[in-house]
Amino acid sequence: MTVDAWIAEPVNWVFSIVAVVILFTAVRVVTSPNVVHAALYLVAALAGSAVMFLLLSAEFVALVLVLVYIGAVLVLFLFGIMITRAPTGFDEGLSNDRKLVSAAISLVLLGVLSWASLSAFGTDTVNTVGSPTATEILGDAILGRFVIPFEVVSFILLSALIGGITVARRDLTPLEEEERKAV
Amino acid sequence: MTFEIDYLALAPELVVAGTIIAALLLDLFLTRSKKYWVAVLSVVGVAGGLVPIVYMLAEGGTRSMFDGSYVVDEFALILKIVFLVSGYLVLLMSVSYIEADRYYQGEYYFLLLSSILGSLVMSSSRDLIVLFIGLELTTGPLFLLAGWRKGDAKSNEASLKFFILGVLSTAILLYGMSLLFGLTGSVEFTAIAAAIPDLVSEPALALSVLFLIVGFAFKASAVPFHFWAPDTYEGAPTPVAAYLSVNSKAAGFVAMLIVMYTALPGISEVWAPALWVLAALSMTVGNLSALRQGNIVRLLAYSSIAQAGFMLVPFAAAAVAGSDLAQAFSATVVYLVIYALMNLGAFAVVIAGARRTGSGDIDDWAGLGQKDPVLGLLTALFFLSLAGIPPLAGWYAKFVMFASVIEAGGISTLVLAAIAAVNSVIAFYYYARVIKAVWLDTPSEELLARPGREYAGSIKLTLAISMGLTIAIGIYPTFATYFGEASRVIATGGG
Amino acid sequence: MALVDYLPFVVMLVLAAGFVAVSLVASRFARPSNPTPEKLAPYECGITSEVEPTQRFPVKFYLVAMLFVIFDVEIVFLFAWASIFNELAWYGIAAAGIFTLFVLETLVYVWKRGALDWNVKTRSRYAREHFRIEEAA
């Protein structure tokens, strides 16, 4: 593809801008010394990913990212931060001495994955914007061929919630327990 | 597009699923003193799941649904038997333990049953999505069960370590699966296997296979992905540790073998050496670490890591040597069946012994045989079986393993066999150390002074079943061979 | 849908960002600027706390957030079902109905366990009636 052709395609512009935003916010998620800021940067990174999925004409996945991740999981994150003793302000302890090693490993992994992905999918073209994967096709697959995993997912949700509630609940102290028994 | 659903083929899953829902509702409407009914219901439900399996085994044949993504053949049925029977034994040994702790009994059984349901689904999976969901349902509830003793810092540590590493490994596994799907354009194992030959030179394929192995090896706690296991086993309630060491380990293990065998035989030059290294490292590191353990649960944790290494040996050897994988598959399944029984027996002994001595330290078990001869004998029985001493079931497992390695032939295979042989000797040393403590060491006065309480009927039943089967298979190995043969038939059909 | 069809979203984004920017800048010029240390303090009156509280939120809120996530995920699946509702007819209703029933059971569970009771009085009455030790979220 020539440079002119690249410039002429608006998708490429959107991609470049969003990619830069995702890169910046993703790095800030791990480097930010403030947990709440990190969570908010994560919102931005996820929103960027949702746009990426839109560009790949995967509307449903983009919607799931917004609805579940930005809408629900992030709320849970913030609640978690609020409930625990973690300071919401600046916190020295958020990064540790091994950050250089971690960064090096991440970069190597990034290199290997990019190389392998480029070699495998570098010349492929996906459906351009304009032919989105219809939600109907997905619905058909989920309720047809994959109906067993679909029903099993409900058990995963069920057990996650019930286990989570059991673990999160406050147990009574032995004293309170005695009181309860006495009533 | 709708698909025909074969309800008989799904019957075991349906029975267990119904039991889960019923157990949860029952628990909500029972008062505290009647909670044991939830346990009764769970045990009956899991046993009930065996009925349709036996019926289908007697009938024979393969039932395939949803374009072959969900297959109930003899191999799947046998795995389901293994998962249900070991789940049944774990439920039994949980009854008195959980009741004594007064800890959320209903929820406990609910989560354990959910995990069993996950392993049932996983056994039948012949595509990546079903496999993944099944595996997640198997391990998901265990993250929470490991931290069931909330007041105990060790239990919290157990849960947290398991959870963080578990989620990381799941992410890696998923990444491998998505790469595999991207390359082959299919999630179905047979379709993937058909697409592999054109892609062998692709680096992304090798990468995805390695990612899959890392993900599965974590679940099977094979070295070097075992770091969570000892701490988690020690901190978790003992029945949960037993479940982790048998069901969830077997689930990860079986998932790995199914994928390698049915989906990726075309690229065995990538995963065969990886499995070889995993097997050799698991055996060696597991056994050497077990030598230094003072806590009996940690000892069993390292021992189960080593046993996973032994289980991998036939498959890794055959794959490296390029010989018949079906033979190795059946050897691995035989090993798995026997390991499940004797390891659950050993954990039941640990529960009973910890109640008798009030401690999990091997030193505190000194002279337990004098205090309680029956328990002492059972300790000797299960640990000798784990060590592979005839005429207990463990010897046959080792025998099948070595036989299949020798059949495979080749230099690297023989090296692996030599490593396995050395490790069997090391393993004998630490298993014998427990038996020596129980029988030859003099009991402390504290132990002799402890009141000799009667054990709960459920734990006795657990011990009786696992003891009976361990002895029976040791004396009459054809019984176990049946499992291996049946799994071989299917394995070939699936490939 | 072509890229152009997403134009309303972009317009919406620009409008939202523009509103924030305009109102911030406008208020900056419109308001008097006269800061004093008292005004800048988080609380103008009362005693400033010296340490952060150990727990800012009761765990109850977290349970509600967890419920929200679970049902949110469920809605996503129902969304896929809704798109082919007519085609699947009763089969779809059965499949999605079973799924929903399983997930709804969590609601029954949470309700019965008293995790949704905000009022401590009703919770203690509940405990008296049922003699439960593990209740009290």
Domain of A38, CATH number, reads 1.20.120.1200
Task: Give the separation between CA B47 and CA A138, rounded to whole angstroms.
Answer: 37
pLDDT at residue B8 greater than cutoff 70: yes
Residue bearing the bigger pLDDT, C64 or C123: C64
Task: Give the separation between CA B302 and CA B249, rounded to whole angstroms.
Answer: 13
pLDDT at residue B491 in the model: 46
Task: Give the separation between CA B80 and CA B49, rounded to whole angstroms.
Answer: 9
Q: C63, A165: Cβ pair inside 8 Å?
A: yes
Residue B4: closest CA among chain C residues belongs to which residue?
A: C91
| Mean pLDDT, rounded, of chain B | 84
Residue B134 touches partner A, C-beta closer than 8 Å? yes
pLDDT at residue B411 greater than cutoff 90: no
Lowest mean pLDDT among B249-253, B288-292, B344-348, B483-487: B483-487
Task: Give the separation between CA B79 and CA B126, rounded to whole angstroms.
Answer: 14
Neighbours of B412 (CB within 10 A): 15
pLDDT at residue A87 greater than cutoff 90: no
Task: Give the separation between CA A62 and CA A49, rounded to whole angstroms.
Answer: 8
Residues 131-160 (A) with a CB less than 8 A from some CB of C: 132, 134-136, 138-140, 142-143, 147, 150-151, 153-155, 157-158, 160
Do A85 and A158 fall into the same domain? no
Q: Taking CB atoms and an 8 Å cutoff, what residues of chain C touch A57?
A: 1
Among residues A62, A90, A118, which one ends one of the domains? A90
**Number of structural domains, chain A?**
2
- Answer yes or no: is A166 within a domain: yes
pLDDT band at A82 (very low <50, low <70, confident <90, very high): confident
Residue with tokens 């353990």: B293
Give the minimum alpha-carbon distance from C91 to chain B in angstroms, rounded to a whole number: 8
pLDDT at residue B27 greater than cutoff 90: no
Task: Give the separation between CA B351 and CA B164, rounded to whole angstroms.
Answer: 27
Do A82 and A26 fall into the same domain? yes
CB B393 within 8 A of CB B473: yes
- Answer yes or no: is A84 within a domain: yes
Cα–Cα–Cα angle for A44, B163, B459, rounded to 5 degrees: 155
CB B380 within 8 A of CB B461: no
Q: B32, C132: Cβ pair inside 8 Å?
A: yes
Task: Give the separation between CA A62 and CA A51, rounded to whole angstroms.
Answer: 7
pLDDT at residue C120 greater than cutoff 60: no
pLDDT band at C137 (very low <50, low <70, confident <90, very high): very low
pLDDT band at A132 (very low <50, low <70, confident <90, very high): low
Residue B17: closest CA among chain C residues belongs to which residue?
A: C102
- Answer yes or no: is A152 within a domain: yes
Q: C99, A132: Cβ pair inside 8 Å?
A: no
Residue B138 touches partner A, C-beta closer than 8 Å? no
The 3-class secondary structure across A143-178, one letter per residue, is HCCCHHHHHHHHHHHHHHHHHHHHHHCCCCCHHHHH
Neighbours of A58 (CB within 10 A): 19
CB C100 within 8 A of CB C70: no
Residue with tokens 């009761």: C58
Cross-chain CB nearest to B140 (options A115, A147, A159): A159
Q: C84, A80: Cβ pair inside 8 Å?
A: no
Residue B149: closest CA among chain A residues belongs to which residue?
A: A167
For residue C40, give both structure tokens: 């800048």
Environment class of B27 (CB within 10 Å of its CB; exposed 0-12, middle 13-18, buried 19+) = buried
| CA of residue B278 relative to chain centroid, distance | 17
Q: C102, A154: Cβ pair inside 8 Å?
A: yes
Cross-chain CB nearest to B32 (options C91, C105, C133): C133
- Answer yes or no: is A24 within a domain: yes
Task: Give the separation between CA B450 and CA B104, rounded to whole angstroms.
Answer: 29
For residue B449, give both structure tokens: 């002074």
In three-state secondary structure terms, B71 is: strand
pLDDT band at B170 (very low <50, low <70, confident <90, very high): very high
Task: Give the separation between CA A170 and CA A172, rounded to whole angstroms.
Answer: 6
CB B383 within 8 A of CB B452: no
CB B122 within 8 A of CB A148: no
Residues 50-89 (C) with a CB less than 8 A from some CB of B: 88
Q: A155, B118: Cβ pair inside 8 Å?
A: yes
Residue B19 touches partner A, C-beta closer than 8 Å? no
Domain that holds residue A47: 1-90
pLDDT at residue B133 in the model: 93
pLDDT at residue B443 greater than cutoff 90: no
The 3-class secondary structure across chain A, one letter per residue, is CCHHHHHHCHHHHHHHHHHHHHHHHHHHHHHCCEHHHHHHHHHHHHHHHHHHHHHCCCHHHHHHHHHHHHHHHHHHHHHHHHHCCCCCCECHHHCCCCHHHHHHHHHHHHHHHHHHHHHHHCCCCCCCCCCCCCHHHHHHHHHCCCHHHHHHHHHHHHHHHHHHHHHHCCCCCHHHHHHHHHC
Q: How many CA atoms lie within 13 A of A44 on its CB side?
A: 17
Q: C88, B24: Cβ pair inside 8 Å?
A: no
pLDDT in tens, B385-407: 888 887 788 888 888 888 888 87
CB B281 within 8 A of CB B309: yes
Cross-chain CB nearest to A155 (options B20, B183, B207): B20
Q: Taking CB atoms and an 8 Å cutoff, what residues of chain C touch A170?
A: 59, 136-137
- Answer yes or no: is A98 within a domain: no
Residue A118 touches partner C, C-beta closer than 8 Å? no
- Answer yes or no: is A105 within a domain: no
CB B420 within 8 A of CB B335: no
Residue with tokens 């995790």: C115
Q: A156, B133: Cβ pair inside 8 Å?
A: yes
Task: Give the separation between CA B158 and CA B148, rounded to whole angstroms.
Answer: 10
Give the minimum alpha-carbon distance from A113 to chain C in angstroms, rounded to a whole number: 29
Among residues A90, A108, A123, which one ends one of the domains? A90
CB C88 within 8 A of CB B2: yes
Residue C132: closest CA among chain B residues belongs to which residue?
A: B32
Give the minimum alpha-carbon distance from B166 to chain A in angstroms, rounded to a whole number: 15
Do A2 and A83 fall into the same domain? yes
Q: Taking CB atoms and an 8 Å cutoff, what residues of chain C touch B29?
A: 112
Task: Give the separation between CA B300 and CA B298, rounded to whole angstroms.
Answer: 5
Interface predicted TM-score (ipTM) of this complex, two decimals: 0.86
pLDDT at residue B485 in the model: 66
Task: Give the separation between CA A126 and CA B218, rounded to whole angstroms.
Answer: 34
Cross-chain CB nearest to B137 (options A113, A156, A162): A156
Residue bearing the bigger pLDDT, A4 or A180: A4
Task: Give the separation between CA B326 and CA A115, rounded to whole angstroms.
Answer: 35
Give the minimum alpha-carbon distance from A163 to chain C in angstroms, rounded to a whole number: 11
For residue B168, give both structure tokens: 């990381």
Task: Give the separation between CA B84 and CA B12, rounded to whole angstroms.
Answer: 9
pLDDT at residue B15 in the model: 92
pLDDT in tens, C3-37: 677 788 889 989 999 999 999 999 988 888 888 87
DSSP state of B361: B
Do A161 and A82 fall into the same domain? no
pLDDT band at C124 (very low <50, low <70, confident <90, very high): low
Average pLDDT over residues B44-70: 83
Give the minimum alpha-carbon distance from C112 to chain B in angstroms, rounded to a whole number: 7
pLDDT in tens, B266-293: 888 888 888 889 999 999 998 888 888 8
Residue B65 β-bridge partners: B70
- Which sign does the torsion angle of CA A43, A44, A45, A49 carry? positive
| CA of residue B460 relative to chain centroid, distance | 22
Task: Give the separation between CA B76 and CA B364, rounded to whole angstroms.
Answer: 43
Task: Specify the pTM.
Answer: 0.87
pLDDT at residue A51 greater than cutoff 80: yes
Give the minimum alpha-carbon distance from C124 to chain A in angstroms, rounded to a whole number: 9
- Answer yes or no: is A124 within a domain: no
ω into C58 cis (within 30 of 0): no
% of chain A at pLDDT higher than 70: 79
Nearest Cα to B70, choosing from B156, B10, B114?
B10
Residue B127 β-bridge partners: B188
Lowest mean pLDDT among B73-82, B213-222, B353-362, C120-129: C120-129
Do A62 and A138 fall into the same domain? no
Nearest Cα to B113, choosing from B8, B9, B12, B235?
B12
Neighbours of A160 (CB within 10 A): 22
Give the minimum alpha-carbon distance from B66 to chain A in angstroms, rounded to a whole number: 5
Give the minimum alpha-carbon distance from A21 to chain C in angstroms, rounded to a whole number: 15
Q: Taking CB atoms and an 8 Å cutoff, what residues of chain C touch A138?
A: 80, 83
